[in-house]
């Protein structure tokens, strides 16, 4: 039959919508599902395949359930990358979710001082903990670190000059580029040094009457190795201090505790950044910190006060959900319970402990244990490779790419690593995930 006649065999939309199997379903979702099922059958008909009404009805029902479930779902991270930007960066500790629920499902004292009965400050809920954790005088939190960078530059360097090293003109994930953010903030960028070498004298020599900020940026996704030199944190802080301008460090990921040895990652901690003399330091809430998306700004009280007075603050401010989660995560650090923060636990876990979990998964799946290396992810310690174990699996008659696709499309999608073989890097796996992996593999046998 030619395709014109095949197309005539496609069911009318009304026929699907009025099918009695669908009588209890939501009309809006059903229409969408039916339209997609018919469109797919039409494409098949154009290729010469005869439409099967019964199949279209089944397909409509499958698409309906899929839409109903929503597209944002839990996945299993078997990549070994703890701070995986595409997989939602840091998972939250359970207690943070509990605290979030308590605070947001009812009313809260978000901006209310219960002692005085007057209006309170929403940032106060996290600034006290941040002071204690970092040694900074004060703190404020905004939507993410990108907005923190923008806000700091806009507050102190709008219409003035901000000095930055040519070796630190970072691009993170496409749309965030230091030169572009500077421009948008109204600051005039003054580049100093060269790509591979920047010294303290370069900062000193760049000072003009218009210099307002000296900025240092964490090289989050690259390193400059070989014939290279970088002004230290204290150098930049000192140079700014001598010039009477604000020193600002965009620390990127930001860690309160150092887990990885210097040979693997030379990054300093936020308390060390502050101790080196920086007036302002900002970092992400959901990278090494292990909380939710947020831009955390810590530093001198008078400067934080100015930032809070910037009208942009109202646009970049965070919701109670962010504050509830951060409060809970910061408390874990303060009380010596950082290992309850998943990102922290995964980064600091010993190879022996990972090995034990790998043996269990290998025994369950009949897979083979392989030595591998995982990266931290999320612009943290770009060159750091942590020893890890993977469990490689194969299914007879199923190619590597078909296996990978099957796992990705499983009810709870499983994101594995694919090299010569498909394998699960156990660093980011919880034993609770093993059942799902077994079910997915079992479905292929
Ligand atoms: C990740 C990163 C940012 C952006 O932080 P978000 O929280 O993702 O907005 C900015 N600067 C540096 C150096 C970073 O590593």
Helix (H, G, I), strand (E, B) or coil at 389: strand
Residue 148 CA, closest ligand 1 atom number: 9
Ligand 1 pocket member 270 (CB < 6 A) = no
d(CA 394, CA 366): 9
pLDDT of amino acid 381: 83
Q: What is the CATH number of the domain that holds 124?
A: 3.40.640.10
Residue for token digits 């299914």?
A: 395
Q: What is the best residue among 148, 220, 289 to mutate for testing ligand 1's pocket, by most ligand atoms within 8 Å of CB? A: 220
Instruction: Mark which of 310, 339, 368 sits at the end of a domain.
Output: 339
Closest ligand 1 atom to Cα of 286? 7
Strands 188-192, 161-165: pairing is: parallel
Question: Separation of 148 CA from ligand 1 center, angstroms?
Answer: 9
Q: 369: CA distance to ligand 1 center in Å?
A: 35
Of the pLDDT bands very low, low, confident and very high (cuts 50, 70, 90), residue 445 is: confident
**Final residue before a domain boundary, out of 339, 370, 386:** 339
Identify whether the C-beta of residue 436 lies closer than 8 Å to the C-beta of residue 414.
yes
Closest residue CA from atom 1 of ligand 1: 252
| CB 381 less than 6 A from any atom of ligand 1 | no
- Calculate what percentage of the chain has a pLDDT beyond 70: 100
Residue whose CA is closest, atom 12 of ligand 1?
A: 252
CA-to-CA distance for 267 and 279, rounded, in angstroms? 18
Domain limits at 20?
3-69
Ligand 1 centre distance from Cα of residue 316 (Å): 15
Please indicate whether residue 145, judged by its CB atom, sits closer than 6 Å to ligand 1. Answer: yes
| Mean pLDDT for the stretch of residues 79-107 | 96
> What total of structural domains would you count in the chain?
3
User: Do the beta carbons of residue 322 and residue 294 sit within 8 Å?
Assistant: yes
Higher-confidence position of 429 and 378 = 429
Verify that 321 and 407 share a domain, yes or no.
Answer: no
User: Does the CB atom of residue 170 touch ligand 1 within 6 A?
Assistant: yes
Q: From CA 303, how far away is CA 280, in angstroms rounded?
A: 8
Question: Within this chain, do residues 251 and 113 fall inside the same structural domain, yes or no?
Answer: yes
Residue minimizing CA distance to atom 15 of ligand 1: 252
Contact 44, 51 (CB under 8 A): yes
Mutate to test the pocket of ligand 1, among 153, 172, 181, 250 (most ligand atoms within 8 A of CB): 172
Q: Is the dihedral of CA 67, 70, 71, 75 positive or negative?
A: negative
- Ligand 1 pocket residue status of 217, Cβ below 6 Å: yes
Mean pLDDT, the chain, whole residue set? 95
Ligand 1 and 377: CB distance under 6 A: no
List the 422-425 sheet strands across, edge first.
368-374, 386-393, 422-425, 417-418
| Ligand 1 centroid to residue 284 C-alpha, Å | 6
Question: Ligand 1: does its nearest atom lie under 6 Å from the Cβ of 146?
Answer: yes
Domain boundary among 339, 367, 398: 339
- pLDDT at site 226: 85
Tens digits of per-residue pLDDT, 99-141?
999 999 999 999 999 999 999 999 999 999 999 999 999 999 9
Residues 182 and 106 grouped into a single domain: yes
Do 49 and 130 sit in the same domain of this protein? no
Do 111 and 238 sit in the same domain of this protein?
yes
For position 15, what pLDDT does the model report? Answer: 93
Distance 253 CA to ligand 1 centre (A): 7
Look at residues 288, 255, 302 and name the one whose alpha carbon lies nearest to residue 274.
Answer: 255
The pLDDT value recorded for residue 127 is 98
pLDDT digits (tens, 9 = 90+) for 16-58: 999 999 999 999 999 999 999 999 999 999 999 999 999 999 9
Does one domain contain both 202 and 332? yes
Q: How far is residue 351's CA from residue 359's CA, in Å, rounded to a whole number?
A: 12
Residue 243: how many CB atoms within 10 A of its CB?
18
Residue minimizing CA distance to atom 13 of ligand 1: 252
pLDDT in tens, 146-195: 999 999 999 999 999 999 999 999 888 768 899 999 999 999 999 999 98
Whose C-alpha lies nearest to ligand 1, atom 14? 252
Q: Which atom of ligand 1 is nearest to the CA of 285?
A: 7
| Protein residue whose Cα sits closest to atom 2 of ligand 1 | 252
Is pLDDT at 1 greater than 70 in this prediction?
A: no
pLDDT at 383: 81
Residues 20 and 153 both lie in one domain: no
**CA 87 to ligand 1 center in whole angstroms:** 16
Distance 297 CA to ligand 1 centre (A): 12
Confidence band, pLDDT 50/70/90 cuts, at residue 306: very high
Q: Which residue has the higher pLDDT, 222 or 388?
A: 388
SS3 annotation, 107-137: CCCCCEECCCCEECCCCHHHHHHHHHHHCCC
Burial string for 170-194 (b: 16+ CB within 10 Å, else e) reads bebeeebebeebbeebebbbbbbbe
Report whether residue 367 contacts ligand 1, using a CB cutoff of 6 Å: no
Q: Are residues 140 and 280 in the same domain?
A: yes
333 and 361 in a single domain? The answer is no
- Mean pLDDT computed over 389-418: 96
Q: Is 323 a residue whose pLDDT tops 80? A: yes
What atom in ligand 1 is closest to the CA of residue 251?
A: 13
Q: Quick check: 30 and 64 in contact, CB under 8 A?
A: yes
Q: What are phi and psi of 324, to 5 degrees?
A: -65, -45
Which CATH number is 397's domain given? 3.90.1150.180
Q: What is the pLDDT, as a whole number, of residue 174?
A: 65
- pLDDT mean over 346-365: 97
* CA separation for the pair 215, 222 (Å, rounded): 18
Same domain, 232 and 308: yes
Whether residue 349 sits in one domain with residue 218: no
Note the pLDDT tens digit of each residue in 186-221.
999 999 999 899 999 999 999 999 999 999 999 988
Q: How many CB atoms lie within 10 A of CB 372?
A: 23
Regarding whether 56 and 35 lie in a shared domain, the answer is: yes
Query: How are strands ordered across the β-sheet holding 246-252?
Result: 138-142, 295-299, 280-284, 246-252, 211-217, 161-165, 188-192
Residue 384 pLDDT: 87
pLDDT (0 to 100) of residue 329? 98
The beta strand positions in 310-421, using DSSP E, are 368-374, 386-393, 414-415, 417-418
């Amino acid at each position: 039959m030619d395709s014109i006649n095949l197309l005539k065999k496609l069911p009318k939309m009304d026929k699907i919508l009025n099918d009695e199997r669908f009588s209890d379903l939501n009309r809006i979702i059903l229409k969408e599902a039916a339209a997609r099922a018919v469109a797919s059958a039409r494409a098949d008909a154009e290729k010469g395949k005869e439409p099967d009404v019964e199949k279209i009805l089944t397909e409509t029902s499958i698409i309906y359930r899929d839409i109903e479930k929503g597209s944002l779902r839990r996945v299993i991270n078997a990549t070994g990358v703890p701070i995986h930007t595409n997989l939602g960066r840091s998972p939250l500790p359970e207690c943070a979710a509990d605290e979030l629920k308590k605070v947001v499902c009812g009313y809260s004292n978000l901006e209310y001082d219960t002692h005085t009965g007057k209006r309170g400050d929403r940032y106060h809920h996290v600034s006290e903990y941040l002071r204690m954790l970092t040694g900074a005088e004060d703190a404020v939190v905004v939507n993410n670190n990108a907005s923190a960078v923008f806000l700091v530059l806009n507050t102190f360097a709008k219409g003035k000059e901000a000095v930055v090293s040519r070796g630190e003109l970072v691009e993170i994930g496409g749309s965030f580029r230091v030169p572009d953010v500077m421009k948008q903030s109204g600051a005039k960028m003054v580049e100093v040094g060269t790509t591979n070498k920047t010294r303290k004298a370069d900062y000193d020599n760049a000072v003009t009457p218009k210099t307002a900020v000296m900025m240092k940026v964490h090289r989050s996704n690259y390193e400059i190795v070989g014939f290279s030199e970088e002004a230290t944190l204290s150098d930049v802080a000192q140079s700014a201090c001598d010039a009477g301008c604000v020193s600002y460090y965009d620390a990127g990921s930001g860690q309160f505790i150092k887990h990885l040895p210097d040979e693997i990652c030379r990054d300093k901690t936020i308390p060390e950044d502050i101790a080196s003399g920086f007036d302002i330091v900002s970092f992400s809430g959901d990278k090494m910190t292990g909380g939710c998306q947020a831009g955390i700004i810590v530093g001198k009280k008078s400067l934080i006060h100015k930032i809070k007075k910037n009208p942009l603050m109202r646009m970049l401010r965070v919701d109670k959900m962010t504050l509830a989660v951060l409060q809970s995560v910061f408390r874990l650090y303060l009380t010596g319970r950082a290992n309850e923060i998943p990102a922290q636990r995964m980064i600091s876990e010993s190879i022996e402990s990972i090995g034990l979990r790998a043996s269990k998964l290998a025994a369950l799946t009949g897979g083979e244990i392989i030595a591998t290396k995982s990266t931290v992810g999320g612009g943290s310690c770009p060159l750091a490779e942590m020893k890890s174990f993977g469990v490689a699996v194969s299914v007879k008659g199923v190619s590597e790419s078909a296996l990978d696709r099957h796992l990705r499309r499983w009810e709870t999608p499983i994101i594995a690593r694919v090299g010569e073989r498909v394998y699960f890097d156990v660093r980011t796996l919880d034993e609770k995930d093993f059942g799902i992996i077994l079910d997915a593999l079992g479905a292929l046998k």
